[in-house]
Structure formats: C-alpha cells, structure tokens
Amino acid sequence: MSGAHYFIGIPVAEEVQFYLKEEQRRLSLENYYKKLPYKDDFHITLLFLGSWEPRGKLWNAIQQRLTAFRPFQLALDQIGCFGNPTAPRVLFAGVKGGDELFDLRRHAAAAAADLDFPLENRPFRPHITLGKSYRGAGELPAIVGKTLRPLTWETAEARLYRVKQGQRPRYETFSKISFPR
C-alpha cells in the first residue's frame, strides 16, 4: 500500500472554478472554515480509494467501464452542507448532472465492488466542496439552500487524483479517462 491517498473525480471548468473562488471570498468562508479548497482543487468526487496503489486490475476495470461514457453537461445548483446548517462541517456547491453523473458513479463503484474493493457506505451526493472543518466561530449566515449562478459545463473525462498532503494545489492528476465523442 502507498502512503498517498487517491480518489476518482470529475474536474470543474475554469469559469466555474473562478466563480466558486469568488463565492468563497464573498461569503467570507475563511472566517468559518479551517480549510478552503484552492481554485484548482475544485472537483466532484466519484469514488474515494484511500491509500490504494494505483496500478493493476482496479484501475484497468474502472477505465474499461468509464470509457463507454460520452461527454455530458453538469450545472451548479444550490449551496448545501453536511452537518448542522448553522455550523456545517462541510459547505458545498451542489451539482446537477442528470442520470449520466449518477450512472458514471455507479459504474466506477461497480468495477471496484466486482474486485472486492472496500467502498464507502453512503449515498452519492454530487458536490464541490467550498469549505470544511468548521471553526466554531459563531453561526454561519443563512446561506444553505442559496441558489448559485446556473453555470454549466461539459465534462469529457474522469480523473484519478492523488492527494498531496500539505501542498497547494492539494490534488494532482495521476491519470485520466477521456470520454469519446
């Protein structure tokens, strides 16, 4: 096993990255969260792999399943959270993507499950993290449920990301799966 952690995710278009970074600033999230993702770290996690070594059967199986997908549209939705809405441990931008996004996640998870890879046992809730590790510095303003600008973008790939602890950007693309047109 490797010391690094890995996950499979969907990248976010540059226009969306800039908009979300501006929302973090406008909402003063640095006053409420210990960790704010760097602009280039915005992504949608499909499958967390942990300290898995990125070679062999699992990555090959996931690649085979995901190359069957075509590019599809994603859109920002509302601000959401995990935890108490006045002091959420994670604040995020919700993402709408239709059936394709859920199918993509289901296929990646099925490839892992077929090889007895341990998976997280929680429902898939597509999102882009805006802040995590709540500081406990008073209540968060009533922003959960706020509708974000309905920016849309085409996703044409999934990525295998490596987590680089203590570095910025924190996530490095290790490999890609392109969706054929």
Give the mean pLDDT of 53-62.
82
Q: Is the predicted pLDDT of residue 158 greater than 70, yes or no?
A: yes
Tell me the per-residue pLDDT of 78-136, one tens digit each, with 9 for 90 and over.
999 999 888 899 999 999 988 999 999 999 999 999 998 888 888 999 999 999 999 87
Confidence of residue 2 (pLDDT cuts 50, 70, 90): low
Residue 55 is assigned to a structural domain of this protein: yes
pLDDT of residue 9 exceeding 90, the answer is yes
In this prediction, residue 52 carries a pLDDT of 79
Total tally of structural domains belonging to the chain? 1
Residue 1 lies in a domain: no
Spatial neighbors of 41 by CB under 8 A, at least 6 apart, are: 168, 169, 170, 171
The Cα 81–Cα 83 span in angstroms is 6
Which residues are bridge partners to 50 per DSSP? 6
Instruction: For residue 11, name the pLDDT band (cuts at 50, 70, 90).
Output: very high
- Provide the domain limits for residue 158: 6-178
Q: What is the per-residue pLDDT for 62?
A: 94
Q: Which two tokens stand for residue 125?
A: 């809730």
Bridge-partner residues for 160, per DSSP? 8, 175
pLDDT at 53 over 80: no
Residue 70: its pLDDT value, please? 97
pLDDT-derived band of residue 1, with 50, 70 and 90 as boundaries?
Answer: very low
* pLDDT at position 25: 96
Residue 146 is part of a domain; what is its CATH number? 3.90.1140.10
- Indicate the average pLDDT of the chain: 92
Is 40 within a domain?
yes
Mind telling me the catalytic residues? 43, 127
Tokens of 16: 């969306």
Q: For 140-168, what is the mean pLDDT? A: 93
- Two tokens, residue 53: 């070594």
What pLDDT is attached to residue 55? 62
Q: Can you tell me the distance from the alpha carbon of 10 to that of 12, in angstroms, rounded to the nearest whole number? A: 7
Q: Which residues contact 170 (CB under 8 A, 6 or more apart)?
A: 37, 38, 41, 163, 164
- DSSP collapsed to 3 states, the chain: CCCCCEEEEEECCHHHHHHHHHHHHHCCHHHCEEECCCHHHCEEEEEEEECCCCCCHHHHHHHHHHCCCCCEEEEEEEEEEECCCCCCCEEEEEEECHHHHHHHHHHHHHHHHHCCCCCCCCCCCCEEEEEEEECCCCCCCCCCCCECCCCEEEECEEEEEEECCCCCCCEEEEEEEECCC
The average pLDDT across 143-172 equals 93
